[in-house]
Structure 1
Amino acid sequence: MGDSSNSKSKRRVGVAVDFSPCSRKALRWALENLIRSDDELILITVLPQAYYETGEMQLWETTGSPLIPWSEVLDPHVMKKYEANPDPETLEIVSNASKQNGMSVFMRIFWGDPREMLCESVGKTSLDCLVLGNRGLGTLQRAIMGSVSNYVVNNGTCPVTVVKS
């Protein structure tokens, strides 16, 4: 039995972040209730589809970015290259948590429809589970836009936790 517990110890926990208050709430929940020091925290962010002239961005648009180490996420020049704009509060929450428990942290960026890309991120990033916030859209907005969290819960290929705002 000794070896089987070892193989399960390191998990890849994904947290969907769009740098909004509800995604910060989901992030805090994951850090307080789910993530252990031997886990990898993968922040998944989905940016709007765009058409890039540069070859690098064209490559990433279909596959998602490579795993970006936390030290590079903290570098505004690197984030500008990906056209991502993490808010200071999210950066601080994750930096403090990673200092306290020593977990590995990465970010992965996808482009396109958040519902589809969050589901795709599970397989492309080998996530063991995914945590996301629920914006609490009103009935009309949800009917028009569709709920991202509903879609991911119904179509994701790993356990999905929705943290209500």
Structure 2
Amino acid sequence: MAKARTIGIGIDYSATSKSSLEWAVDNLVDTGDTIVVILVLSPKSDPVNKKLFADTGSPLIPLVELKDISVCKKYGITPDPQLFNILDTVSSTKRVKVMGKVYWGDPKEKICEAVNHLNLDSIVVGSRGLGPIKRVLLGSVSSHVVQNATCPVTVVK
């Protein structure tokens, strides 16, 4: 049996990030693995727990707590039934441990920090499909992660 892995998945609630989660569930995640959903929220948001965890991100939040409205409020998480449904399904069907981790700041930097903090075996991110001009002007999270992460990166279009 293969060694259980810890797989990070960057989520921003967009259709693209949910597609990348679904791709990871269908193609990458195996029984016994751990999925860490990485949520990078705006540095302007100011939930109760941000002051405690602004530098390191939140503690790992088990799925059952991640779905709790009061926990969502503490961390500034937007409860997303579709996202929770996908995570519940993979948790039960593949016996995968699902955790959440919340950061505040620049997604490019925070996702790369998460790779190191969490000792991820792999990271999956979505791509909005920006053209070359927009990518240069706006910066691409997926491009930055591919160039700077210290583990394998999968970009899902």
Matches within 5 A, 1:7-46: 9-46=3-40
TM-score w.r.t. the length of structure 1 is 0.89
In structure 2, stretches of 5+ residues that fail to align are: none
The percentage of aligned residue pairs carrying the same residue is 42
> Greater Rg, structure 1 or structure 2?
1
Matches within 5 A, 1:1-165: 9-50=3-44, 52=46, 56-164=49-157
Q: Secondary structure at the match of 2:123?
A: strand
CA distance in 1, matches of 2:20, 2:45: 30
Aligned length in residues: 157
Runs of 4+ in 1 over 4 A off after TM superposition: 51-54
The letter of the residue matching 2:84 is L
Would you say the 8 A contact 1:19–1:86 is kept in 2?
A: no
Measured against aligned partners, the alpha-carbon deviations of 1:22-57 in whole angstroms (never above 9, x if no partner) come to 001100010011111110010001001137595x42
In structure 1, stretches of 5+ residues that fail to align are: none
1:101 shift after superposition: 1.4
Measured against aligned partners, the alpha-carbon deviations of 1:115-137 in whole angstroms (never above 9, x if no partner) come to 00000000111111100000112
TM-score w.r.t. the length of structure 2 is 0.94
Answer 1 or 2: which has greater helix percent: 1
